[in-house]
């Protein structure tokens, strides 16, 4: 029987954070991404004549190249503007830029410093806006990460994930939201300065309530990773926060992922990192280059997950089976 995939409901919508999707939409998006992954580099024409406009206020390797590659593989075209090419908030308002770019592109990918201009931009755009990373969220990374975990374990529901390090950053927030929606329990390991607020933990429990998800924060990294299926970390200082490098190194040094800490997780545990990584800071070379690491699968899955997202936002998925 042909059923309407939940991802079909995403058509024309904005994706600024993971929770812009419902749990069924996220699951459906991941299934579509898996399907596209199985097709490899097959050249498709589903986005023929469509243009993706990409704006990057901060550096990007994976996000920019995977979106552009995805558009090429789907038969469309992508154009990127970076750094001083544009000036949202300086040369013109987010609203004016959004109205202009909506006259050219079929969707807009935007990497910003603050989250608020992105919200204003998306509010004025008349085509879908995708968050390519802001200070508050990195949803595209989370979609790829869940695809990676699902690929390895065959399921997401009931798994346990630990995020160690700067547990207030964009990657941690989006990953935790996505994991909770998919039925994964989350533990954070961070010093008080980098601990997620209690209100956020409560929100995760609520997001994962249908699955009985737990969300807890520890100061001890060993306690947080004990017997978990996935150990995740990110850089200690995110782009734009460079003035806090020394403070962050001092606070987060006890949270480095090394072989001993991985030993406290389940034997089959994966090591994950969104990249770029700093060997010798948040993770040792032994771990990130070792057999438990799936960081390059994560990077590859950016492509597949974003192709699925572009199809869901820009095409009619009705008629596809789940
Ligand atoms: N992980 C990630 O978003 O990488 P880039 O910053 O290189 O896009
Ligand atoms: N938290 C990091 C992620 C980079 C992909 C940053 O914002 O710089």
In angstroms, the Cα distances linking 41 to 72, 74, 146, 304, 308 are 10, 9, 21, 10, 14
Alpha-carbon span 285 to 279, nearest angstrom: 5
Probe ligand 1: pick from 130, 172, 302, 305, max atoms within 8 Å of CB?
302
Domain 5-138+301-314 and domain 140-299 have a common topology: yes
Catalytic residue among 140, 234, 298, 304: 234
pLDDT at position 83, please? 86
Probe ligand 2: pick from 56, 112, 234, max atoms within 8 Å of CB?
234
Task: Tell me whether residue 140 is one of the annotated catalytic residues.
Answer: no
Question: What digits encode the pLDDT tens for the residues 76-135?
Answer: 999 999 988 899 999 999 999 999 999 999 999 999 999 999 999 999 999 999 999 999
Cα angle 9-105-130, degrees, rounded to a multiple of 5? 50
pLDDT at position 320, please? 67
Domain ranges of the chain: 5-138+301-314, 140-299
Q: Residue 2 — very low, low, confident or very high, per pLDDT cuts 50/70/90?
A: very low
Average pLDDT over residues 68-74: 98
Q: Residue 318 — very low, low, confident or very high, per pLDDT cuts 50/70/90?
A: confident
Sheet holding 230-233, edge to edge: 215-218, 185-189, 160-164, 230-233, 270-273
Task: Tell me whether residue 141 is one of the annotated catalytic residues.
Answer: yes
DSSP secondary structure of 259-289 = HHHHTTS-TTPEEEE-S---BTTTB-HHHHT
Alpha-carbon span 99 to 4, nearest angstrom: 32
- pTM for this one? 0.97
Fold exhibited by the domain 5-138+301-314: Rossmann fold (3.40.50)
pLDDT at position 151, please? 97
Question: What digits encode the pLDDT tens for the residues 145-172?
Answer: 999 999 999 999 999 999 999 999 999 9
Task: Please name the residue whose Cα sits nearest to atom 5 of ligand 1.
Answer: 60
Q: Relative to the alpha carbon of 142, which ligand is closest? A: 1
Question: What digits encode the pLDDT tens for the residues 283-306?
Answer: 999 999 999 999 999 999 999 999
Ligand 1 within 6 A of CB of 141: yes
Return the number of other C-beta atoms located less than 10 Å from residue 28's C-beta: 24
Whole-number average pLDDT of the chain? 96
Alpha-carbon span 234 to 157, nearest angstrom: 23
Burial of 9: CB neighbours in 10 Å, binned 0-12, 13-18, 19+: middle
Ligand 1 within 6 A of CB of 306: no
CATH number of 140-299: 3.40.50.1370
Task: Please name the residue whose Cα sits nearest to atom 6 of ligand 2.
Answer: 238
Catalytic residue among 141, 256, 298, 306: 141
Please name which of 221, 237, 130 lies closest in space to residue 174, comparing C-alpha atoms: 130
Q: Residue 219 — very low, low, confident or very high, per pLDDT cuts 50/70/90?
A: very high
Task: Tell me whether residue 111 is one of the annotated catalytic residues.
Answer: yes
Q: Residue 319 — very low, low, confident or very high, per pLDDT cuts 50/70/90?
A: low
């Amino acid at each position: 029987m042909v059923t309407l995939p939940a991802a079909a409901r995403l058509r024309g919508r904005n994706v600024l954070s993971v929770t812009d999707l419902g749990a069924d939409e996220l699951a459906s998006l991941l299934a579509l991404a898996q399907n596209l992954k199985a097709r490899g580099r097959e050249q498709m024409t589903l986005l023929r004549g469509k243009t993706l406009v990409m704006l990057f206020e901060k550096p990007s390797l994976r996000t920019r190249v995977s979106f552009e590659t995805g558009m090429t593989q789907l038969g469309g075209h992508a154009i990127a503007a970076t750094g001083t090419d544009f000036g949202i908030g300086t040369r013109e308002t987010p609203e004016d830029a959004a109205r202009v770019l909506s006259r050219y592109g079929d969707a807009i990918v935007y990497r910003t410093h603050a989250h608020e201009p992105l919200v204003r931009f998306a509010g004025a755009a008349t085509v879908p806006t995708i968050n390519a990373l802001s200070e508050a969220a990195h949803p595209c990374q989370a979609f790829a990460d869940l695809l990676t975990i699902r690929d390895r374990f065959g399921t997401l529901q009931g798994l346990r994930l630990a995020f160690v390090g700067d547990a207030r950053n964009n990657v941690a927030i989006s990953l935790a939201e996505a994991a909770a929606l998919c039925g994964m329990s989350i533990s954070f390991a961070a010093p008080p300065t980098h601990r997620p607020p209690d209100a956020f933990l409560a929100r995760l429990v609520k997001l994962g309530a249908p699955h009985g998800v737990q969300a807890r924060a520890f100061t001890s990294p060993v306690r947080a990773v004990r017997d978990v299926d996935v150990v995740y970390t990110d850089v200690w200082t995110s782009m734009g926060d460079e003035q806090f490098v020394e403070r962050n190194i001092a606070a987060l040094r006890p949270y480095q992922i090394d072989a001993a800490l991985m030993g406290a997780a389940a034997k089959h545990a994966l090591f994950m990192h969104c990249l770029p990584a700093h060997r010798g800071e948040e993770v040792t070379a032994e771990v990130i280059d070792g057999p438990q690491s799936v960081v390059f699968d994560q990077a590859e899955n950016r492509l597949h997950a974003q192709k699925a997202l572009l199809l869901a936002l820009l095409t009619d998925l009705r008629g596809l089976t789940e």
